[in-house]
A and B are shown apart, each in its own frame.
Chain A
């Protein structure tokens, strides 16, 4: 069974608009962690934000926030006030006991910011 689903292969967003990247996950483990990474065309995988399953509040890091809806098993990434430099691939990943705490990756979403 697919554990991480990113349903948007690609998105175009106007500069300065907010953007939401979708991620749904599947696990039976009550303890898990969710991660978002950004991968520009240069290839480096850049850590953006983390959400633990027991965290009461949604994680935020600067312009990035995670809309964590535990009952719906979704962990969407919200980027506020998008910039041209936000154009990249974005990956959602999860680690849990079933995966032996290794990261399970989604297929990614290619985000393009239009000037």
Chain B
């Protein structure tokens, strides 16, 4: 079974530029998550989708970050304009339901973003 796919794996941009990340979840998984992980910290949830609807985006900096999940499958996360503090690893995860109980999140390889 194919895992969560993400691209690109690495991205270097200058501040004030824009960048987009792509994620393809495990087939059949209804829930998709985007996390930001600053070096040395645990992941921070940015947004959670259930199919193509947003469940939680309370920690998404909406003045510069946006995300969409078209047709309830693939998702893109965009940053525009980027700031130095956006340098981090962006992780995409998916799970079967997103509900209580043993609903395990499986992660992609991540995108390492460096903002200069």
Contacts and interface: CB of A to CB of B under 8 A. Distances in A.
Interface residues of B, number: 23
A91 B110 CA distance: 16
Nearest to A53: B101
Contacts of A52: 101-102
The range of chain A's interface size is 20 to 34
B98 A43 contact: no
B72 interface: no
Main secondary structure of the interface of B (DSSP, over half): loop
A102 interface: yes
Interface stretch (A13-21, A66-74, A79-87, A104-112): A104-112
21 contacts: A31-B101, A33-B100, A33-B102, A37-B107, A43-B109, A43-B112, A44-B109, A44-B110, A47-B106, A52-B101, A52-B102, A95-B100, A95-B103, A101-B103, A102-B45, A103-B45, A103-B105, A105-B43, A106-B42, A107-B41, A108-B42
Interface of B: 41-43, 45, 48, 56, 89, 91, 93, 98-110, 112
